Amino acid sequence: MEIGIVGAGIAGLAASIRAAVAGHKVTVFEVNSYPGGKLTAFEKQGYRFDAGPSLFTMPQYVDDLFILAGENPADHFKYIRLDPVCNYFWEDGTTLSAHADKKKFSNEAAQKLNVPADYVMSSLQDSADKYEANGRIFLEKSLHRWSTWLNMPVFKALLKIHKYDLFSSINRVNERLVKHPKLVQLFNRFATYNGSDPYRAPGLLTIIPHFEHHIGAFYPENGMHSITKAVYELAIRLGVTFHFNTRVEEILTKNKVVYGLRTEEKTYPFDRIICNMDVFFAYKKLLPNHAKPNRILQQERSTSAIIFYWGIKKVFPQLAMHNLFFSDDYRSEFKHLKEGKVAKDVSIYVNLTTDHTPSDAPEGCQNWFVMINVPSQSAESEPLDIDALREQAIAKLSRMLGKQIKPLIEMEEILSPQEIESRTQSHQGSLYGTASNKPLSAFLRHPNFSNEVKGLYFCGGSVHPGGGIPLCLLSAKIAVELL
């Protein structure tokens, strides 16, 4: 069959590889001049930055693409396991390193916070148990096909559904397991990995720490953008055709069956279509004559972000690759986000890669990726004051690191929610599509196929199983298996 793919984000790239390996002729259309979507990079004044996702977990999902194609992943794509995974900072001067080794992490928490070491161990074990019991079911299979539910492993998993904390919030689970307010805040932070609110998102999402602390957090050699490069080059080797700087205008259908794509220049016939575009814009722009799943499209969107890319003329040895500077009132921070606002005191994430890739900055300097969670930009959202957020970030980081940051910033770029939407067609600038703030959020995401149009499939962060690199890769797997 001839397969057309809309969008060369990481899910579109993965889908192209899987479809090509299955023997199909694959053509990918991308409006930008480059592949990768959010997973791209840029350089300025001697500093290199990964522009989008900065955390890499579940690397086996990338390796799988090479193995599927009959290649050795290590020949094309290398990565290391990080330790520590993340350094955490609080306003009262407390710092804590979340080590890759669970016992080391537990002992660090016990020493720094004066809590029993088993607090951390019990939480991580709970995370692992939930993932092993149901993670593969909810993440690796379509939840919208009866065949998924009509088998014995799923039936057995459903018998234990009362153990999954589906109707309890992440915060309540963490208060039960780790108890100490700082540890609760640390483990609540994992809700932000899919743009959700730990005070509303279901406790089932406490499986997320499993990815980071059981399987590990990793860093690809030469940065996150090397994921895009390696996967794109694999697709090229498999004979996938790419059309960049090409905007798809419409998915063509007849009698509710796809037959091709129309771009600005011409029409292309296809037997099947995989859409890696945000599902909101896919229906609005590419399927104008078809009924829209409004219940899904009108769901709350995940958070967005303001990102400051700073070239810093100093080395801060207390910083790891991943760092989080917490607000004093985490609940208030998320209350503001829910209301479409930004709190006066926010948590700030700082990523830097120079420890592992020194060439990413001039000697004696660091490349700071500084991110603040902000609301997706709906009509009800309060207008963002980017200058005020910049000053707030500089003041907080200066205070908590004991050094004035502003004089050290010799290079700067800023990415706003509006630019995230325009560059990546992410509705309202949301980073992860639909938010996961309801008990049945996993079931309410758009499926990986169309109920309305035969031969149309979907992948990417706006559909099942969700946003982030691992889930986008799984969405491609599910879509191609269905196809």
Question: DSSP letters along 165-223, please?
Answer: TTTSBHHHHHHHHT-SHHHHHHHHGGGGGGT--TTTSBGGGGGHHHIIIII-EEEETT-
Cα gap 316→40, rounded to integer Å: 25
Contact 62, 201 (CB under 8 A): no
Encoding tokens for residue 111? Answer: 């020493």
Opening angle at CA 62, ends 57 and 63, nearest 5:
110
Cα gap 137→115, rounded to integer Å: 35
Cα gap 442→138, rounded to integer Å: 7
Beta strands at 409-415 and 304-312: parallel, antiparallel or unpaired: antiparallel
Note the pLDDT of residue 25: 98
Please, which residues have CB within 8 angstroms of residue 313's CB and are 6 or more apart in sequence? 364, 365, 408, 409, 410
Phi (first) and psi of residue 425, to 5 degrees: 55, 40
Identify the three-state secondary structure at position 295: helix
- Can you state the angle between helices 469-482 and 60-68, rounded to 10 degrees? 40
Note the pLDDT of residue 162: 65
Cα gap 315→367, rounded to integer Å: 10
Contact 300, 441 (CB under 8 A): no
pLDDT one digit per residue (tens) for the chain, 483 residues: 999 999 999 999 999 999 999 999 999 999 999 999 999 999 999 999 999 999 999 999 999 999 999 999 999 999 999 999 999 999 999 999 999 999 999 999 999 999 999 999 999 999 998 888 776 667 777 777 767 667 676 666 666 666 778 889 999 999 999 999 999 999 999 999 989 999 999 998 999 999 898 889 999 999 999 999 999 999 999 999 999 999 999 999 999 999 999 999 999 999 999 999 999 999 999 999 898 888 888 888 999 999 999 999 999 999 999 999 999 999 999 999 999 999 999 999 999 999 999 999 999 999 999 999 999 998 778 889 999 999 999 999 999 999 999 999 999 999 999 999 999 989 999 999 888 888 877 667 899 999 999 999 999 999 999 899 999 999 999 999 999
Contact 9, 424 (CB under 8 A): yes
Going by the DSSP 8-state scheme, the letter that residue 3 receives in this structure is E
Note the pLDDT of residue 161: 66
pTM of the model: 0.94
Q: What is the dihedral of CA 432, 436, 441, 447, to 10 degrees?
A: 0
Cα gap 341→365, rounded to integer Å: 34
Note the pLDDT of residue 475: 96
Note the pLDDT of residue 13: 98
What residue ranges in 276-353 does DSSP mark as E strands?
304-312, 322-325, 348-351
Cα gap 171→185, rounded to integer Å: 8
Cα gap 272→10, rounded to integer Å: 19
Contact 442, 432 (CB under 8 A): no
**CATH class in words for 2-39+226-299+436-482:** alpha beta
Beta strands at 257-263 and 248-254: parallel, antiparallel or unpaired: antiparallel
